[in-house]
Chain A
Amino acid sequence: MSNAIIPLLLDSLASAALIFFAAVGLTLVFSVLRVLNVAHGSLYSIGGYVAASICLFIASRQLNPYLSFLALLFSAVCVAAIFGPLIERGLVRWTYGKSEAVQILITFGLFLILEDLQRVVFGVQSFYEDAPMRLLGTTSVGGVVYLNYQILLIAMALLVVVGLRLLINHTRLGRLITAVVTDREMAQSIGIDTNRIFIVAFSLGVFLAALGGALATPTSGIAPGLGADTMVLAFAVAAIGGLGQIEGAALASLIVGLARVLAIYLVPSLDAVAPYAAMLIVLLIRPYGLFGSVTARRI
């Protein structure tokens, strides 16, 4: 029995980790900027494309294959450094203080542009480069074979949860972010340049999404449409966890990951529905999500 349960658990944890990267950035950006960025999923897939391209380049030049791990991180940093400030300064900031409908329409427009941009730049064929996964190999315990890469994914997600919490609670930047989230006007009055915090928080969100996309590429490849799928899942996770909640997003990712993998093992036809069924149940019981509260929304 345990032979079946442990890989199942590992699968769902790894899948939860990938969803978490996308969702935690979405929720972070929402809590600081109070904008729900519909284009967030596209940044996940752009991270994936960039990572896959660099990994393929490394393979084609027969460079040290271990460089591809560095490439995963590097591509996320690049995507964040380029797209973060560009999108926040160029587009999102014009929606501050506007109604949610305007914000969603504008970021949805951005989503359409980014999706087509990816088709133009990377084509419509799917990319697959699993060098990082192959390099880490497998571990066999008691006759069950594990992918070490899955364990890396889970560890990375845990690192992000702990890292973000430390950042928010114990650094200067974290304090300033907390002040901006709690009360934007007061933050300005005590000398915080809120525009800078917005750029930093948005870019951090982009980094996390792009990192998720980059880390996902070796396991599942990347193809057009990934951005939209990711966005919808990330939104479900953020809603289950409570918008703006880091630990909430982590727990919700687990729920969604588990729901998905359970569905794949037990009722494969319900695979796509399972995350939303979980969302429906949670929101019926707790309308503001697991960790959310009426005041935490602060819209």
Chain B
Amino acid sequence: MLRLDKVSVSIEGVRVLRGVSCEIIARKTTVLIGRNGAGKTTTLRAIMGLIAMDQGSVRLDADDLGSRPAYTRARAGIGYAPEDRRLIPELSVEENIRLPALALKLDRAEVARRLDEIYQLLPELHVMRSRPAGGVSGGQGKMVALGRALTVARKVLLLDEPFQGLAPALALDYARTLGELRKHRPELAMLITESSPALLDRIADRTLQIERGEILDTSTKDREFHVAAI
């Protein structure tokens, strides 16, 4: 579905990604594991077009995204929840979740449908929908960011370190939500980055390991999961 081919990215002259190639597959949850500074966030930012690539390509199905401006990602159905939430504090929780619908000019019925789906998955968002996003806690903010990303994600969902900074109870909640999401939206291709593999053991279908800007072969990990599934 989403294919990165030899993607190289530099930040201020320093190579951060060195020829990253990988594929994010529909109906699968792919987890990208790596230490801080390994290039996880940069990989997601490169997919989103938020950072210029030195070389390589990003394709969604037959669509070459690399040559197009960042805002086209959302139109192509790629939803993105950054690690640091990045909500608009003065707008309410629901207004934040609806914001992509305004940008994408979705019609009323479609917005209501997506919002329903999100509230069903994340009932706590429904409870706090009219609170200003600036007033929710960090963990709740992550849920709001997930909700906003889901408004966009028709094909691909990118989550950057969703468990980072979550209290253990909330992290468990979040993991459960991701499991639910898999059931509700089986067609979705998900890419989740994380620094510790343990948290995502249950939801990961495939694991990729990134180190110093390079993806290491992790097919063995894949097989392990198959064994576990059997």
Which chain A residues have a beta carbon within 8 Å of chain B's beta carbons? 172, 175-176, 178-179, 182-183, 185-195
- Collect the chain A residues with CB atoms within 8 Å of residue B70's CB: 185, 188-189
How many chain-B residues does the 8 Å CB contact rule pick out? Answer: 25
Indicate if the CB atoms of B88 and A183 lie closer than 8 Å. yes
Indicate if the CB atoms of A192 and B71 lie closer than 8 Å. yes
Indicate if the CB atoms of A193 and B88 lie closer than 8 Å. no
Residues 143-161 of B, flagged 1 when their CB comes within 8 A of A and 0 if not, give 0000010011000000000
B100-108, B114-122, B123-131 - the one binding chain A: B100-108
B13-21, B72-80, B188-196, B213-221 - the one binding chain A: B72-80
Given A178-B91, A179-B88, answer yes or no on A189-B102 (Cβ-Cβ < 8 Å). Answer: no
Interface centre among A186, A190, A193 (most CB of B within 10 A): A190
- Collect the chain B residues with CB atoms within 8 Å of residue A185's CB: 50, 70, 86
- Collect the chain A residues with CB atoms within 8 Å of residue B86's CB: 183, 185-186
Indicate if the CB atoms of A179 and B99 lie closer than 8 Å. yes
Given A178-B88, A191-B71, A193-B71, answer yes or no on A186-B82 (Cβ-Cβ < 8 Å). Answer: yes
Q: Is B69 located at the chain interface by the 8 A CB criterion?
A: yes
- Collect the chain B residues with CB atoms within 8 Å of residue A183's CB: 86, 88
Indicate if the CB atoms of A194 and B71 lie closer than 8 Å. yes
- Collect the chain A residues with CB atoms within 8 Å of residue B103's CB: 176, 179, 187, 190-192
Indicate if the CB atoms of B88 and A190 lie closer than 8 Å. no
User: Within residues 2 to 38 of chain B, which ones have a CB less than 8 A from any CB in chain A?
Assistant: none
- Collect the chain B residues with CB atoms within 8 Å of residue A179's CB: 88, 99, 103
What CA separation (Å) do A188 and B76 show in the bound complex?
13
Name the contact of A195 in the complex, choosing from B49, B69, B89, B90 (C-beta under 8 A): B69
What CA separation (Å) do A182 and B102 show in the bound complex?
16
What CA separation (Å) do A183 and B82 show in the bound complex?
12
What CA separation (Å) do A195 and B68 show in the bound complex?
13
